[in-house]
Structure 1
Amino acid sequence: MAVRPEGAPCWADAMFTDVEGAKRFYGEILGWTFGEASAEYGNYTQAYRDGKAAAAVVPPMPGQEGQEVRPEWCLYLAAEDAAATAERIREHGGEVVMEPMRVADFGTMCLARDPSGVTFGVWQAGTHEGFATEMGEPGGFCWAEVFTREPDRSDTFFPAVFGYRAQQMQDDSMDFRVYTLGERPALGRMTMNEDFPPEVGPYINVYFGVADCDEAVSKATKLGATLQFGPMDTPYGRFAALTDPQGANFSVIDTTRTEGETPQMTDVS
């Protein structure tokens, strides 16, 4: 697998109070199977699609049992040197929530927040290089977007830390920006408007590929998920936004079903 450039999405995991429930849900929706829980690493459990690493689920850390844990998918961005990235995060107004920590020979991780409160991870790969699924294939990571109420702070922070350039979508109905690495889109940024309830904090929305968006939504809602938006056809695929039964937000997308013209984008940096 080619080494991912600095700032490229490379892995995703989520903490669930009911890990077995999460495994049943995502196994049904995304076709995931799961490896053995690793007691040495907090019962971290890797998910696979067709034998390829897709994501992971984990129970609350020791000391968090009994506390209210808000499930949330965490996206990890690639780093050549996690410690150096952590320093840049601080320099540009972010917060390092978990200092860089080596995880055996798998790699080095840290957790951080941007100045608007968006939580994300940093991963310096060792033997674990991240997603083994192809982008957009059923069950695999496809895309992710920063949802923030303070877009100016995110737009200053992420390019400064990861070297992104930025393009603004020309659409009066929404404030949407794409962070790019060279010519390749890396991450979206969406401004949260009044449609988002005030109790919903900033987060990164992760998209997973599915073979049929409508079928995935039907399965998800029958299993207790809440449909937030869609299904909707776009130039990038048919997608829907969901909240799983434990409260974690995510989206599903069928990239083979596209409709409409690609929106015009303007360079802003």
Structure 2
Amino acid sequence: MPEVTSPYQAGTPCWVDLAAPDQQAAIDFYSEVFGWAGEVGPAETGGYAVCTLNGKPVAGIMAAVPMGGQPAPPTVWTSYLAAADAGATSQAVSQAGGTLLMPVTDVMSLGRMCIAADPTGAVFGIWQPMDFPGAGIVNESGALIWNELNTTEPSAAAAFYKAAFGIESAPMEGAEHYYGLTVNDRPVGGMQPMSEQMPADTPSHWLVYFAVADTDATVDKITSAGGAALQQPFDMVAGRMAVVTDPQGATFAVINPKPMDQG
């Protein structure tokens, strides 16, 4: 079922959000492309917009502005991994060789969070849910369906995420040089070496995938709305996908997934 009705297990991607220089323009773009509903939030949350699909939270969009003497965050989608205790998990991240970029912070009564980077440089968030568990709908057209780590050092990344989160990795059948990431034997994402098609200076990163009903039509909609295709639609083992950017430069993927075996 695409509607999330149980808590996310620790280590599972549970939320994604975007920092955009023009927050309203980003909200308008993703609403047009995916059918989201969203608006700039109240001042007490820094204007953070929780976008919804079918009335369920699906992703966040915030203004990329300098905070606390720090420069504005880059225009990227960030994947958040669920944690039972953000403080303990942040310590585990440090002990496993990761770097804390933002300390653990209380987000009102919604939860606790921090931002970190793994030893290969990929940035991610940690989310300890309280009143807000994370995405309320996934694996449905217009919603998050996959989180993928593209890394310069797969073996180092695999060791880190196992030590810090208990995430296991193993080669994925039918996909050369691709690793499935699992939590308690449940698939939660993927990992692969950095593609030679990426610019040489591209850092390790988590790529977010949104499900769509028609990849080609969605890419046409994205480009018509001011975005661009980095990889035109192509068929692969999990479905038909494309890698794109929004008008402000944030990269993400869209995929029309193949039907899952019902066995």
Contact 1:138–1:211 (8 Å) recurs in 2:
yes
Q: Which moved more, 1:114-123 or 1:152-161?
A: 152-161
Gaps of 5+ in 2: none
AA of the residue aligned to 1:142 = I
The match for 1:238 among 237, 240, 247 is 240
Normalising by structure 2, we get a TM-score of 0.91
**Aligned equivalent of 2:192:** 190
- Tell me the SS of whatever aligns to 1:159: helix
Q: Per the alignment, do residues 109 and 68 of structure 1 end up closer, same or farther by CA in structure 2, a change over 3 Å counting?
A: closer
Q: Write the distance in 2 (CA, Å) between the matches of 1:78 and 1:211.
A: 28
Q: Per the alignment, do residues 237 and 257 of structure 1 end up closer, same or farther by CA in structure 2, a change over 3 Å counting?
A: farther
Q: Give, in angstroms, the shift of residue 12 of structure 1.
A: 0.5
Q: Write the distance in 2 (CA, Å) between the matches of 1:127 and 1:225.
A: 34
**Aligned equivalent of 1:265:** none
Contact 1:175–1:190 (8 Å) recurs in 2:
yes
Q: Write the distance in 2 (CA, Å) between the matches of 1:222 and 1:64.
A: 37
- Tell me the SS of whatever aligns to 2:11: coil
Q: Deviation digits for residues 99-124 of structure 1, max 9, x if unmatched?
A: 11111110111110000110000101
Check if 1:143 corresponds to 2:158: no
Q: Write the distance in 1 (CA, Å) between the matches of 2:122 and 2:14.
A: 17
Q: Give, in angstroms, the shift of residue 70 of structure 1.
A: 2.5
**Aligned equivalent of 2:47:** 43
Normalising by structure 1, we get a TM-score of 0.89
Q: Give, in angstroms, the shift of residue 61 of structure 1.
A: 3.5
Q: Give, in angstroms, the shift of residue 217 of structure 1.
A: 0.5
Q: Write the distance in 1 (CA, Å) between the matches of 2:215 and 2:253.
A: 10
Check if 1:109 corresponds to 2:147: no
Contact 1:159–1:179 (8 Å) recurs in 2:
no
**Aligned equivalent of 1:152:** 155
CA RMSD of aligned residues (A): 2.1
- In the TM superposition, 1:246-265 aligns within 5 A as 246-256=248-258
Q: Deviation digits for residues 120-167 of structure 1, max 9, x if unmatched?
A: 00101011010011x220111100101111222211101111112211
Q: Give, in angstroms, the shift of residue 175 of structure 1.
A: 2.4
Q: Write the distance in 2 (CA, Å) between the matches of 1:18 and 1:43.
A: 12
Q: Give, in angstroms, the shift of residue 168 of structure 1.
A: 1.1
Q: Write the distance in 2 (CA, Å) between the matches of 1:140 and 1:194.
A: 28
Q: Per the alignment, do residues 44 and 143 of structure 1 end up closer, same or farther by CA in structure 2, a change over 3 Å counting?
A: same
Contact 1:149–1:193 (8 Å) recurs in 2:
no
**Aligned equivalent of 1:131:** 135
Contact 1:17–1:69 (8 Å) recurs in 2:
no
Q: Write the distance in 1 (CA, Å) between the matches of 2:63 and 2:259.
A: 35
AA of the residue aligned to 1:186 = V
The match for 1:21 among 20, 25, 32 is 25
AA of the residue aligned to 2:238 = Y
Aligned length: 256
The match for 2:82 among 78, 87, 99 is 78
**Aligned equivalent of 1:168:** 171
Q: Deviation digits for residues 184-241 of structure 1, max 9, x if unmatched?
A: 1112111113321123222110001112111111000112222122312234222111
Q: Per the alignment, do residues 143 and 95 of structure 1 end up closer, same or farther by CA in structure 2, a change over 3 Å counting?
A: same
- Tell me the SS of whatever aligns to 1:33: coil
- Tell me the SS of whatever aligns to 1:137: coil
The match for 2:98 among 82, 94, 118 is 94
- Name the % identity: 35
Q: Write the distance in 1 (CA, Å) between the matches of 2:199 and 2:213.
A: 31
